[in-house]
Amino acid sequence: MNQTQTSFAQLFGKSQGTNHIINRIEIPLIQRDYAQGRHGEVVERIRKNFLDALYNAVMPGGEVISLDFVYGDVEGNTLYPLDGQQRLTTLFLLHWYLAWRADVIIETQPWRLFTYATRPSARQFCESLVKFRPPTGEADLCGWMIDQAWYFHTWEHDSSIRSMLVMLEALHQRFGSASDTGCMAAWQRLTDPQQPAIGFHLLPITANGLTNDLYIKMNSRGKPLTAFENFKAHFEAVLKTDHPEKADDFANKIDTQWADTLWAYRGDDHLIDDEFMRYFRFVSEVCSWQDGINPDDKTSADALAEQVYGAGNVKAGEHLEFLFKAFDVWHLANINAEFSNLFTDVPGKNSVPLVLFNAFSDVSEPGSGVDLFGACCQHFGKPDWTLSHTLLLYAVLLHRIHDTQNFSCQLRIVRNLIEASVGGEIRNQKMPELLADVKQIVLGNTLQGVLSFNQAQVANENDKAALLAEHPTLKGPLYSLEDQRLLRGCLAAFELDPTGNPSVFTQRADAFHTLFNTSASWPQLTGALLALGDYSRKDPRWTGYSFCDFGAPRSEKVWRDLFKGRPEQRLSSSLMNLLDQVAENHHDLTCLETIQEEFLNQCQLNSVLDWRYYLVKYPAMREGASGRYAISPSGFSICMLEKSVMRSYYRDPYLLAIFRESAIGQSESDLWFSGYETEPRRISPLKSDLLIECVDQGWQITGVLTDPKQKACFEEVCALHGLGPDLLYCMPQKDGGDIIDRVVMGAQLLKNLIKAGL
């Protein structure tokens, strides 16, 4: 194509490679309004950067700049720009402004023949601007124009005029500190016929046989630039200033190799703009955390890029190198297949691929839920992308960039540490340390110095490594346990003694899968575990009670939390005992009932019925959805929580048990309580004001009866059960436990009260 290097001033009165001399520029009707003077954060930032570039070019000592290509249709002596309208308008305003400041007669300048056909008002404004000169030294340039008789107030509704006024004011502010002598020198550099400070390449359509179809297509550039296009331009400018050796490489790769990589993840709009920006932000936020700065998701991409890759960051070169590699490592790779080789969302017997517990579900192709690169391009910045995903993808990137050995083992350790740390250690403020620990594991192949992840899990990883070093054949059963959805890498509840019998570990692993792979056996399982000991995780409270966690009849999360970390030895003791018995019974789960029956028989034989006896014997007392109980020191005052805190409604398991055992068939709606665990919990039998409460000694009845008939009936019930004036139904006790079953006795008391009409 025939192109011409020129400047705005040189454009007029000379042949520009066509059969015509250009004497006039008219922005055609089809073009959009002038936009570089609009308001808004993005536009204002672009305007400031553009004016800085223009100012530096025209002032003495500045470097000549080129504003790339300007396309236009030449008819007669008029150029009709189809691409370059915004730049030409700004150059027109710059020439007008410097001519005014340099005291140049504008009315004789050829470039004054610049006009808009988009609206009559814009055309009139341009024509008036070159006819009327503000006073020398006018401080309020735009204010002076608006006050002139030639300025029509209806022009305030013309967006092009408003934008031109904003640009003129911005020019006035930018050049405001320059003296008149400085502005004269700037004018001379701007209009220098040999080496103008600001130039561009003109591509006339007529000279190259281009058609109106191209005009229509090219005019799409008149639409406002997308955020992606603005970012590319801004970031390329940052690179040209601070990392010139990388600028061309970035400009080339973003439209070639990187675009090819992202194309498979394009959105419904068949663009990769958003996908690129999400992955770019992921990499940049990782770099920001490595600088010890917690990135703000409200920070614009431009600001983040300057913060991470700009000259003000001493690690900018290192970060930029990581950015390029983070894109380059995926070039020509079958990314989905690469991640499918690393991860799976289906637990199995194999150690590779690794089970990913936080895979993405809203995917179109089977297996693509573990493609963390694709998920990052589609989900980064959204709630379903978590810090855990960031750490895992960072680990994969380190591996691909540095080609690490034994990565499947390193990745498994990272996965396990992340799962054990979710909800506690993994948060924004700790990401610098967490990323450093991931790097230590992947590149250093060691856990030494890893301090930011859950330390109990770090110890567990070391214990597992010692076990496998002694018994390598246990890798399969050990990894299958790690991949079990309740354990999620944490085997703290297992005995990992390297000196033990390896076959015992294998048998226990198989028994665990039998018990926990489905929830059908969980209600019986809690009873069997309690029969073997108090395995609960305890958290003492200020009331003297303790929160005790046992595992829930339906909730996986409750069991995961119970197994997570380094629990007390009693959990491991009860669990290992249970697994051994399941293995001995060839995984026949009727043994769970046998274990409970043997425990209950032993309690009755010893005539000591403590709180464990009651929770084992009565399934109603193990129905709490949270698996959490607030238990008094005696064990005879218990709150069975539906949620993990006392602020929600809960039930008293003893009251629920006698209600169920009495089989009175009434609604259980009155069996819910609230408040601190130290507050009394009482239920009413039926019609009267009597209330029943479980206390350490047995069953306490409270309330006053005024009806003579009810009083007489109540006295008969009291005599039947041996209640004295204090209305306390005492249970005979020894060694801190009941001798007789208080639930049986309490249920009978409740039935008799109801039978008596109370």
Q: What is the pLDDT of residue 217?
A: 42
This prediction has a pTM of: 0.72
Q: What is the pLDDT of residue 686?
A: 67
Amino acid at 94: L
pLDDT at 226 > cutoff 70: no
pLDDT at 216 > cutoff 70: no
CA 385 to the chain's CA centroid: 4
**CA–CA gap between residue 454 and residue 121 (Å, rounded):** 69
pLDDT at 141 > cutoff 80: yes
| Mean pLDDT value of segment 298-302 | 89
13 Cβ contact partners less than 8 Å away, ≥ 6 residues apart: 21, 22, 23, 110
**Residue 214 in tokens:** 């191209």
Q: What is the pLDDT of residue 317?
A: 95
Of 160, 156, 90, the closest CA to residue 122 belongs to 160
* Lowest mean per-residue pLDDT among 11-25, 149-163, 297-311, 455-469: 11-25
Q: State the residue for tokens 């009165």.
A: 13
Per-residue exposure over 32-52, b if at least 16 CB sit within 10 Å of its own CB, e if not = bbbbbbbeeebbeebbeebbe
Of 489, 492, 555, 546, the closest CA to residue 519 belongs to 555
**CA–CA gap between residue 467 and residue 394 (Å, rounded):** 29
**CA–CA gap between residue 414 and residue 388 (Å, rounded):** 10
Confidence of residue 579 (pLDDT cuts 50, 70, 90): very high
* Lowest mean per-residue pLDDT among 234-248, 360-374, 444-458: 360-374
| Mean pLDDT value of segment 747-751 | 93
CA 676 to the chain's CA centroid: 36
* Burial (CB count within 10 angstroms: exposed 0-12, middle 13-18, buried 19+), residue 298: exposed
Q: State the residue for tokens 């570039």.
A: 53
**CA–CA gap between residue 576 and residue 500 (Å, rounded):** 13
CA angle in degrees (0–180, nearest 5) for 326-328-334: 100
Neighbours of 134 (CB within 10 A): 16
Per-residue exposure over 348-387, b if at least 16 CB sit within 10 Å of its own CB, e if not = eeebebbbbbbbbeebeeebbbbbbbbbbbbbbeeeebeb
Confidence of residue 73 (pLDDT cuts 50, 70, 90): confident
Q: What is the pLDDT of residue 436?
A: 97
Give every strand in the sheet of 691-695, ordered side by side: 682-683, 691-695, 698-702, 728-730
| Mean pLDDT value of segment 334-352 | 86
| Mean pLDDT value of segment 169-185 | 91
Amino acid at 413: I
pLDDT at 704 > cutoff 70: yes
Mean pLDDT of the chain: 89
Backbone angles phi, psi at 618, to 5 degrees: -115, 105
**Residue 742 in tokens:** 């208080």
* Burial (CB count within 10 angstroms: exposed 0-12, middle 13-18, buried 19+), residue 143: exposed
Amino acid at 362: D
Neighbours of 236 (CB within 10 A): 16
Of 96, 141, 102, the closest CA to residue 114 belongs to 96
Of 65, 51, 49, 58, the closest CA to residue 237 belongs to 49
Q: What is the pLDDT of residue 159?
A: 84
Confidence of residue 504 (pLDDT cuts 50, 70, 90): very high
| Mean pLDDT value of segment 531-541 | 92
Confidence of residue 213 (pLDDT cuts 50, 70, 90): very low
Q: State the residue for tokens 């001033």.
A: 9
pLDDT at 119 > cutoff 80: no
* Burial (CB count within 10 angstroms: exposed 0-12, middle 13-18, buried 19+), residue 312: exposed
**CA–CA gap between residue 413 and residue 402 (Å, rounded):** 18
pLDDT at 221 > cutoff 70: no
Q: What is the pLDDT of residue 214?
A: 44
**CA–CA gap between residue 758 and residue 756 (Å, rounded):** 6
**CA–CA gap between residue 302 and residue 280 (Å, rounded):** 11
**CA–CA gap between residue 624 and residue 516 (Å, rounded):** 18
**CA–CA gap between residue 571 and residue 359 (Å, rounded):** 30
* Lowest mean per-residue pLDDT among 304-313, 347-356, 531-540, 546-555: 347-356
Q: What is the pLDDT of residue 180?
A: 86
Please state whether beta strands 4-6 and 65-75 pair in parallel, antiparallel, or not at all (unpaired): unpaired
Confidence of residue 1 (pLDDT cuts 50, 70, 90): very low
Domain ranges of the chain: 4-224, 226-332, 334-453, 499-636, 649-758
Confidence of residue 285 (pLDDT cuts 50, 70, 90): very high
DSSP 705: -
Dihedral sign for Cα atoms in the order 86, 88, 91, 97: negative
Q: pLDDT for 556-573, tens place per residue?
A: 989 998 998 666 677 999
